[in-house]
Amino acid sequence: GAVVSQHPSWVICKSGTSVKIECRSLDFQATTMFWYRQFPKQSLMLMATSNEGSKATYEQGVEKDKFLINHASLTLSTLTVTSAHPEDSSFYICSARRGYPEAFFGQGTRLTVV
């Protein structure tokens, strides 16, 4: 149990376009989901906390208009990178909380903006 699926695993998009990443909890309901960004050889940097049915809480320094997060159901949260630029290229990871304090992670999405 406790499977979190992230889609797509990798995506290449053109500069100026938007890309959506999905995070699904497959076998449990997640009232809280988290979005992280990971640069090469670095730790996970929390971008935002997403609660079902309410607005996401963004970490300081994260542009909420660029990184749109929607948590419309108990099993799905989406991260949309709007007007992507090469500096947005990174590895994005979601996690979902089942109970407390356990959080389970998706397999990540490698975004490349060209």
Partner 1 sequence: AQTVTQSQPEMSVQEAETVTLSCTYDTSESDYYLFWYKQPPSRQMILVIRQEAYKQQNATENRFSVNFQKAAKSFSLKISDSQLGDAAMYFCAYIIQGAQKLVFGQGTRLTINP
**Contacts to partner 1 by CB under 8 A:** 32, 34, 38, 41-44, 46, 49, 57, 91, 93, 95, 101-105, 107-108
Residue 73 or 107: the one with the smaller Cβ distance to partner 1 is 107
What is the sign of the dihedral through the CA atoms of 19, 111, 84 and 17? Answer: negative
Residue 28 or 82: the one with the smaller Cβ distance to partner 1 is 28
Residue 78 or 95: the one with the smaller Cβ distance to partner 1 is 95
What minimum distance in Å lies between the beta carbon of 76 and partner 1? 19
Contacts of 51 (CB under 8 A, 6+ apart): 31, 32, 57, 71
Residue 104: burial class (beta carbons within 10 Å; 0-12, 13-18, 19+): middle
